[in-house]
Amino acid sequence: MKQYLINKIMFSFSLCVLLGSMPSCEEVIDIDLNDSDPKLSIDGKIEMGQTAQIQLSYTTDYFSEEAPNYETDAIVNIKELNGRVETLIHQGKGLYTGNIVIGREGFEYELEINVDDKTYLGKSSMLTPTEILNIEYLEFDGFGGSEEETEYQLQIVLKNNPLEENYYLLKYYINGSDKEDTYSVYSHEFFPNEETIEFSPMRFIFTKDDVVTVKAYSIDEGTYDYYSQLDEIIDPHGGGSSTPFNPASNMGQDVLGYFRAWSFDQKTVQIEEEE
Amino acid sequence: MHYTHKIGLLISFLCFFVISSNAQNKHTISGEVLDAATGEALIGVTVYTADKTVGTMTNTYGFYSLTLPAKEQTIYYSFVGYQTQKREIKLTSNQNIKIELVVNKTALNEVVISAEKKDKNITSSQMSGEKLDMKTIDKLPVLFGERDVLKTIQLLPGISTVSEGGNGFSVRGGSIDQNLILLDEAPVYSASHLMGFFSVFNSDAIKGMTVYKSGIPANYGGRAASVLDITMRDGNMKTFQGSGGIGLLASRLTLEGPIIKDKMSFIVSGRRSYADLMAKAANQVSGDTKMYFYDLNAKLNYKINDNNRLYLSGYFGKDDFGFEDLGMDWGNTTATLRWNHLFSSQLFSNTTALYSEYDYGFNFGDNGSMSSGIKDVSLKQDFTWYANPQNTTKFGFNTTYHTFYPGEFLFEDNSISDIKIPEKQALETSVYASNEQKLNQKLVFDYGLRLSMFNQFGPGENVTYNSNNNIINEELYGKGEVMQSYYGFEPRLGINYLMNSKSSLKLSYNRMVQYLHLMSNSTSGQPTDTWMPSTFNIEPTTVNQYSVGFFRNFMDNSFEFSIESYYKTMNNISDYKDGTQVMLNEDIESYILQGEGRSYGLEFYLKKKYGDFTGWISYTLSNTDNKIEGINNGEWYDSSYDKTHDVSIVSSYQFTPRVSISANWIFYTGNAVTFPSGKYDFDGHQVPYYTERNGYRMPNYHRVDLNIHLEGNKNKRIQSSWDFSLYNLYNRMNAYTINFRESETNPNVTEAVKLSLFGIVPSVTWNFKF
């Protein structure tokens, strides 16, 4: 999946050329969509040093502004392979949490969910945690930039385990927002097997008043693939796939969502005006 | 069937024609028909006897051959827009007769939307083929003032636009890569400038074009859906002249003339867009900004003697877009060297050597660069044997060596490993024979056979994948070793039953095999699409098509009407697994799914060819769907190229000899697309949920375009004309894409966002000629 990033950059550039050259116009429209039968969605995670959190809900109509229906009668088990097993407790609104099984480096976790006599099973591995060693910002002078104010991009240095096939998910937050502005994923294939890796995310640009927080997640290959696919669906301008699709779940073929084991480090940076 | 047996069959097939030709006391009249003013060869001139029982037409090089009984003969040479010439000939031996036709001055200002024989649509065995000359294209409304041959053919029945303003087109449900686009016989792999909005064909350099949708002649092959054969002008053999135009987007200049009068001529035609120059002049962009395309057509033709002629033609075009540290460029290069030779007055030969290259690249400044492309070198030999007035036989061979460059990404930073996908090589060879046989005055058969062979050569490796795209076996091949072979058996048939002088019934069948595949992220085609050969994992696409049509002319052939129906089956059409990354994917073969498709439809066509008011109405009712294991649960689904209704109304009215107005109305059903039928929450995102492939439709598309053409004084030294165009007159904001996303103002709300490219677009072009 090394080409993922390249593909994204080039497709975005092509689109910029296309739209920049043409007198295009964007407009929010009303459109009739079919209402599908509700389908189970799993948003499951276990973080390093934390217990598992599993959110079970059902799909809703695309334009619905109401909360989805939650699955409240599931049996949810988390298992540390070659280790302990725990049945998670429903806390309300489809959220199941545990007390015993805590995320540990180097372990693989298996999530088993039983709903209406159907069993969904998925695994994910907790790889070596990364560390944000340094964040700097550089003036951005690439394409599509604003002419009115100076823009910046990040230069990030991460700690890498050269003996492992690492994958990273980086989320970027602006000005204390709970929801990330955007995210990007990186594969070990992109970098030599060294103890530090350095890159500049081309998609994330900000201005001098912004306070930027970066969360760098260490993820396994399956999670990398899932977030790569997810990005094409939620950010179609940045993607390159001809036909939309449902990102493939690791919990089975007839279910949506994903279960991942991960750890993260975070750092915040603010632009300081040059003297 | 073993391949040698197939070749044996082809030879037997050819012998049948030889045996069937008779050997009475006859002689042959042959030669070429030229424009008297320019010396350009005229294609499609009708040559016939006084009783109109025997006739032929000039070929692509203006050559004709007619074998007649040895007696006094009266021969007519007729071409629409030119004065008919009559020759009395005492036929006692074979004769070479060169004819120069004079433009009919009374018809100079008449709009003629076809330069071919008035009732050719009735008498020719070819169906679903349309010949367009540049006069037709010149009069039509245009986008940004750029006349465009590829946009014009999209107004014909059975040929549909795949995206607003784009040059990618679909023929009878076929994908864009199933169209063979030839420029002076050289294949053009990406026929678009500016991300698809303008074709690479500079109309000043084009003589004419023919598009085939079914009953495709056996001398064409290699693509599954259609052939678009574009011929470049030869250059004026008589006098030096120039022409050009200045438009809003681009300007063009053409120079042509004799090098040796009536023996050797040249034509050079260039075009360049200048949005970047204007933007730089207005200080809107930095000096490093590149934002232009250009192309150059050039041709030399040398008439060595009556039996030998040489043509050398070339095309070079490039798009360049970018900024200081980031850029993208792409372009085609083609070169064609042709030798026409007459072995006898009845045997015409054309030998062609071809080169064609397409490549694109990204430049990331200090970070690195990326490139990809395809290169062809070909040798072609075509013979036409005018055996007798009842039989015209064509045979020949074609061999092409393809080199594919799937892509490489080179990083400047040595700490990041480069990506290099190995080159692929393949040899595509075909032999063909066909015969047009007039059984009697009512029945014409055109039958042919093409045998094709495709070999992929090493160095390389045949990789076997499991269903998870993981490699389970690799077989290495050395340089020149055959990695994979495929064969194609491609019969062609056309039957014309002339019901009377105004009506005919035609039937056709063709089988086409396509060995090349376009790896594309979009249905409309982008410059970053990559060509791939058929391989161990990707099988060639084959298409069988059956067509039937009724053709009727009215009012002294002023009106043409046709209704055609077709049914097409497609095998090994390709699609991708969900989420496939097409570009620079080393294992792309494991992500390709192949299956079957079918397309059927009805096409109505009413055309008024002559008079002050001309134009046509075309309507296509069709259905195209696919069935591919791994997509849509293996069920049939609407193809992305499925368009239920497709209507074009094209009209032009000559108000005065110097003023004409033309207008188009275009309507088509929206493309089949995949929209969400729900959504779900994941990690703070509202994610669309998709249930079926292409289960929805884009909104219907329609627009009106208008063009006013003002002709200057023709007696002046420099003749000029103006074109004022309005594209999308009623400013309908047709949907280019519809995306689904979280609202930017309220992330809890999801919305559908329509992107429209063109509202009303006015343009003006000044054309000149000296």
pLDDT confidence tier of residue B377, bands split at 50, 70 and 90: very high
pLDDT at A1: 33
- Cβ-Cβ contacts under 8 Å, A189 against chain B: 417
Chain A: residue nearest B276 by CA?
A: A21
- Cβ-Cβ contacts under 8 Å, A34 against chain B: 677, 691, 695
Q: Helix, strand or coil for residue B111?
A: coil
B236 or B50, greater pLDDT? B236
pLDDT at B312: 97
Residue B386 contacts A, CB cutoff 8 Å? no
CB contact under 8 A, A28 and B527: no
CB contact under 8 A, B528 and A21: no
pLDDT tens digits along B726-745: 989 999 999 988 888 888 78
pLDDT at B198: 81
Between CA A4 and CA A203 the distance in angstroms is: 13
Is residue A172 packed enough to be buried (19+ CB in 10 Å), middle (13-18) or exposed (0-12)? Answer: buried
Q: Tell me the CA distances in angstroms from B628 to B175, B383, B467, B535, B574, one per residue in order.
A: 15, 41, 15, 19, 8
pLDDT for B718 beyond 60: yes
Per the structure block, which two tokens stand in for B278? 């204007």
Rounded average pLDDT over A92-118: 94
Q: Which residues contact B328 (CB under 8 A, 6 or more apart)?
A: A10, A13, A14, A17, B319, B320, B321, B322, B360, B361, B362, B363, B527
Chain B: residue nearest A247 by CA?
A: B579
Q: Which residues contact B16 (CB under 8 A, 6 or more apart)?
A: none
Tell me how crowded residue B604 is: count the other CB atoms within 10 A of its CB. 15
Between CA A203 and CA A209 the distance in angstroms is: 18
pLDDT at B321: 83
**Beta strands, E only, B4-106:** 26-35, 46-49, 55-57, 63-69, 72-78, 85-90, 95-96, 99-101
CB contact under 8 A, A62 and B689: yes
Per the structure block, which two tokens stand in for B714? 């023709």
Is residue B473 packed enough to be buried (19+ CB in 10 Å), middle (13-18) or exposed (0-12)? Answer: exposed
ipTM: 0.91
Between CA B60 and CA B301 the distance in angstroms is: 14
pLDDT confidence tier of residue A240, bands split at 50, 70 and 90: very low
Most confident of A76-85, B206-215, B443-452: B443-452
pLDDT at A7: 47
Per the structure block, which two tokens stand in for B464? 């076997």
A248 CA: distance to closest CA in chain B (Å): 9
Between CA A59 and CA B758 the distance in angstroms is: 36
| Closest C-alpha among A94, A48, A104, A89 to residue A71 | A94
pLDDT at B238: 92
CB pairs A-B closer than 8 Å: 216
| DSSP string of B505-572, one letter each residue | EEEEEEEEEE-EEEE-SSSS--TT-EEEE--SSSPPEEEEEEEEEEEEEETTTTEEEEEEEEEEEEEE
Lowest mean per-residue pLDDT among B14-23, B34-43, B547-556: B14-23
CB contact under 8 A, B685 and A17: no
Residue B700 contacts A, CB cutoff 8 Å? no
Per the structure block, which two tokens stand in for B378? 């070909």
pLDDT tens digits along B676-692: 999 999 999 999 999 98
pLDDT at B114: 45
Between CA B488 and CA B500 the distance in angstroms is: 38
Domains A3-10+128-247+263-270 and A40-125 fall in the same CATH topology: yes
pLDDT at A236: 60
**Beta strands, E only, A91-230:** 95-102, 108-115, 118-125, 132-139, 151-159, 167-174, 182-187, 196-199, 205-207, 211-219
- Cβ-Cβ contacts under 8 Å, A43 against chain B: 681-683
Tell me how crowded residue B681 is: count the other CB atoms within 10 A of its CB. 19
Between CA B198 and CA B168 the distance in angstroms is: 10
Q: Tell me the CA distances in angstroms from B734 to A74, B701, B763, one per residue in order.
A: 47, 6, 19
Q: Helix, strand or coil for residue B701?
A: strand
Question: Which position has the token pair 């076809």?
Answer: B114
Between CA A27 and CA B309 the distance in angstroms is: 58
pLDDT tens digits along B82-139: 888 888 888 888 888 999 998 876 544 433 444 455 666 766 666 666 777 777 677 6
Residue A3 contacts B, CB cutoff 8 Å? yes
pLDDT at A68: 93
Chain A: residue nearest B640 by CA?
A: A243
Interface subset of B 570-599, CB within 8 angstroms of A: 576, 578-585
pLDDT at B618: 96
Q: Tell me the CA distances in angstroms from A191 to A2, A135, A138, A167, B43, one per residue in order.
A: 10, 18, 21, 10, 60
Most confident of A233-237, B97-101, B279-283: B97-101
Chain A: residue nearest B330 by CA?
A: A14
- Work out the angle at residue A9's Cα, subtended by the Cα atoms of residues A7 and A10, and round it to the nearest 5 degrees: 65
- Cβ-Cβ contacts under 8 Å, A170 against chain B: none
Going from N- to C-terminal start, the domains of chain A cover 3-10+128-247+263-270, 40-125
Which of B194, B291, B687 is facing A233, going by the closest CB pair? B687
Residue B288 contacts A, CB cutoff 8 Å? no
pLDDT at B602: 97
| DSSP string of B290-358, one letter each residue | EEEEEEEEEEEEEEEETTEEEEEEEEEEEEEEE-SS-EEEEEEEEEEEEEEEESSSSEEEEEEEEEEEE
Interface subset of A 197-256, CB within 8 angstroms of B: 228-230, 232-237, 240-248, 256
What type of residue is B155?
L
CB contact under 8 A, B416 and A68: no
- Cβ-Cβ contacts under 8 Å, B740 against chain A: 62, 236
pLDDT for B195 beyond 80: no
Which of A36, A179, A247 is facing B677, going by the closest CB pair? A36
A237 CA: distance to closest CA in chain B (Å): 9
Per the structure block, which two tokens stand in for B365? 């400044």
User: Going from the N-terminus, what domains does chain B have, and what CATH number goes with each?
Assistant: 3-104 (2.60.40.1120), 120-229 (2.170.130.10), 230-769 (2.40.170.20)
CB contact under 8 A, B684 and A244: no
Q: Helix, strand or coil for residue B674?
A: coil
DSSP at B257: E
pLDDT for B20 beyond 60: no
How many residues are given for chain A? 275
Q: What is the mean pLDDT of chain A?
A: 84
Q: Which residues contact B563 (CB under 8 A, 6 or more apart)?
A: B549, B550, B602, B603, B604, B605
- Please, are residues A144 and A16 in contact by the beta-carbon 8 Å criterion? yes
| Closest C-alpha among B181, B191, B294, B269 to residue B227 | B181
Between CA A199 and CA B436 the distance in angstroms is: 66
Between CA B224 and CA B518 the distance in angstroms is: 13
pLDDT tens digits along B500-520: 888 999 999 999 999 999 988
pLDDT for B541 beyond 60: yes
Residue B275 contacts A, CB cutoff 8 Å? yes
pLDDT at B522: 73
pLDDT > 90 in chain B, percent: 52
- Peptide bond before B459: cis, by omega within 30 degrees of 0? yes
pLDDT tens digits along B130-185: 777 777 677 677 677 677 888 888 999 999 988 877 778 999 999 999 999 999 99
- Please, are residues A31 and B686 in contact by the beta-carbon 8 Å criterion? no
Best of A5, A19, A21 to mutate (most B CBs within 10 Å, chain B): A21
pLDDT for A226 beyond 80: yes
pLDDT for B494 beyond 70: yes
- Please, are residues B370 and B408 in contact by the beta-carbon 8 Å criterion? yes
Instruction: Collect contacts of B287-292 with beta carbons under 8 A, ≥24 apart.
Output: B288/B323, B288/B324, B289/B322, B289/B323, B290/B320, B290/B321, B290/B322, B290/B323, B290/B327, B290/B329, B291/A21, B291/B320, B291/B321, B291/B322, B292/B319, B292/B320, B292/B321
Per the structure block, which two tokens stand in for B409? 């990404």
Interface subset of B 403-432, CB within 8 angstroms of A: 409, 415-417, 419
Chain B: residue nearest A24 by CA?
A: B757
Per the structure block, which two tokens stand in for B421? 């996908």
Which of B415, B520, B680 is facing A59, going by the closest CB pair? B680
Between CA B154 and CA B162 the distance in angstroms is: 9
Q: In what order do the strands lie in the sheet with B179-183?
A: B129-133, B206-212, B226-232, B179-183, B186-187
User: What pTM was estimated for this model as a whole?
Assistant: 0.88
Chain B: residue nearest A68 by CA?
A: B680
| Closest C-alpha among A121, A89, A84 to residue A104 | A84
Chain A: residue nearest B414 by CA?
A: A192
Between CA B254 and CA B205 the distance in angstroms is: 7
Torsion angle of the four alpha carbons B472, B477, B481, B482, in this order, in degrees rounded to the nearest 10: 10
Tell me how crowded residue B213 is: count the other CB atoms within 10 A of its CB. 29
Residue A26 contacts B, CB cutoff 8 Å? yes
Which of B521, B679, B755 is facing A60, going by the closest CB pair? B679
- Please, are residues B230 and B181 in contact by the beta-carbon 8 Å criterion? yes
Residue B739 contacts A, CB cutoff 8 Å? yes
Q: What is the mean pLDDT of chain B?
A: 87
Rounded average pLDDT over A33-44: 93
- Cβ-Cβ contacts under 8 Å, B754 against chain A: 26-29
Residue A272 contacts B, CB cutoff 8 Å? no
Give the right CATH number for A3-10+128-247+263-270 from 2.60.40, 2.30.30, 2.20.25, 3.30.379: 2.60.40
pLDDT confidence tier of residue B24, bands split at 50, 70 and 90: low
Interface subset of A 34-63, CB within 8 angstroms of B: 34-36, 38-39, 41, 43, 55, 57-63
Lowest mean per-residue pLDDT among A226-235, B340-349, B577-586: B577-586
CB contact under 8 A, B688 and A233: yes
Rounded average pLDDT over A216-234: 92
- Work out the angle at residue A25's Cα, subtended by the Cα atoms of residues A20 and A30, and round it to the nearest 5 degrees: 145
- Cβ-Cβ contacts under 8 Å, B759 against chain A: 23, 25
| Integer Rg of chain A from CA | 20
Between CA B479 and CA B104 the distance in angstroms is: 60
Between CA B530 and CA A170 the distance in angstroms is: 31
Residue A187 contacts B, CB cutoff 8 Å? no
B336 or A22, greater pLDDT? B336
Residue B287 contacts A, CB cutoff 8 Å? no
A201 CA: distance to closest CA in chain B (Å): 13
pLDDT > 70 in chain A, percent: 84
* B225-250 residues labelled b (16+ CB within 10 A) or e (exposed): bbbbbbbbbbbbbbeebebbbebbbb
Residue A4 contacts B, CB cutoff 8 Å? yes
Between CA A48 and CA A263 the distance in angstroms is: 5
Question: Which position has the token pair 């203006």?
Answer: B62
Lowest mean per-residue pLDDT among A226-240, B26-40, B635-649: A226-240
Question: What CATH number should be reported for the domain whose range is A40-125?
Answer: 2.60.40
- Please, are residues B183 and B199 in contact by the beta-carbon 8 Å criterion? no
- Please, are residues A38 and A69 in contact by the beta-carbon 8 Å criterion? yes
Between CA B90 and CA B73 the distance in angstroms is: 6
